[in-house]
Amino acid sequence: MIYNGTCPNCDGKLRLEEGRSFVDCPYCGSRIPATQLLGKKDRLMKNAETNMQFGEFRKARALFKEMTEEYPDDYRGWIGLVRIDTDGFTRCDLSDQDFACVCEYIRKANICAADAVAQTIGDQWAALLKKRQEFLDERQARYQELGKRLAKNDEMLSNLQKSRQALNDHIESLEKAIRHENNALYKAIKTGQAVGLFIFSGIALALNYYGFIHQFFLSPLLFGVIAIVIAVVIIRLLLKAAHIQKMKQLEQDLQNAQENLAVNQSKGRDLSDDSQQTKKERDAIEARYPSAAAPSTAA
């Protein structure tokens, strides 16, 4: 960039190249510092450009902003703000709000710039707008994809909730069946013992009546006691064997149901975490790019 000025010693017309801190006057031979040669507007512009070269973008932006406030009719201040905010017409991921500000800077720069300059600005701006639209299309596709993902997660969570309720009901019924089986065993043993006692007592009386007991040298009372003990042991063993088999099946079913419930709960937690992260990303897109989150009007 070239800055025009006047020699303070001979009023000769001078041109200062960007990046130089002084210029030698070809008319009087004086070495003129840039600070004396340039007016305030050019000093603002030169300092802004220098800060951009140094990577001091915040300082450069403040100087461009000051230039637009004091010299709003100079397009260079407006274009300077655009260059800062878009990294030299390359950055297209600005938020909708920030990009709207850039659009306003471009509009004002085009009003103030000469036709040739406005044409150059227009070409750069058109290329950036194309990249911006491609970026917004990608954001919109991502936003819609996240929406479908949330809906799918919600459906899966609903199904898991129903399955979890069914598993809980099944577990409750199995636990109830186990308690009932234990109570039934206790009652069956008592009933079986009474029946066995009656049957074996009858057998003992019959054997005694026909004289079979004396053949084994046993008294009727001792034989009756032995018969009762044998009856009780046999009945308890038979009932417990049936009970153990049934309890094993019930306990295995209960264990399987509890494992399925644990898997269900783990899947539910994973889906909830995924939905939370998905919603967070979707909300971020909606907050930063409302135009990408808006419903598509395409046919």
pLDDT tens digit string along 156-176?
999 999 999 999 999 999 888
Same domain, 15 and 155: no
| Domain annotation covers residue 241 | yes
Measured CA distances, 88 to 34, 82, 83, 125, 175 (Å): 26, 7, 4, 10, 72
The residue to which tokens 């001091």 are assigned: 56
CB within 8 Å of 124: residues ≥ 6 apart: 89
Residue where the block lists tokens 């074996």: 200
Residue 175 located in a structural domain: yes
pLDDT surpassing 60 at residue 212 = no
Cβ(106)–Cβ(66) below 8 Å: no
pLDDT digits 0-9 by tens, 171-201? 999 888 888 877 776 666 666 656 665 665 6
Q: How do residues 215-230 score in pLDDT, each as one tens digit?
A: 444 555 555 566 666 6
- Give the number of other CB atoms < 10 A from CB of residue 3: 21
Residue 72 in any domain: the answer is no
Q: What is the pLDDT, as a whole number, of residue 104? A: 96
What range does the domain containing 33 cover?
Answer: 1-38
Please report whether residue 162 resides in a domain: yes
Q: Does residue 298 belong to any structural domain of this protein?
A: no
Instruction: Of 22-31, 110-119, 186-195, 226-235, give the range with the top mean pLDDT.
Output: 110-119
- Residue 68, both tokens: 């637009």
The answer to whether position 113 is within a domain reads: no
- Alpha-carbon distance 199 to 210, whole Å? 17
Number of domains in the chain: 2
Q: Report which of 1, 158, 141, 138 is spatially closest to residue 80, judged by C-alpha positions.
A: 1
Same domain, 17 and 157: no
Q: Which one-letter amino acid corresponds to residue 272?
A: S
Are 286 and 158 in a shared domain?
yes
Q: Is residue 137 part of a domain?
A: no
Is 166 within a domain? Answer: yes
Confidence (pTM): 0.66
- d(Cα 112, Cα 177) in Å, to the nearest integer? 88
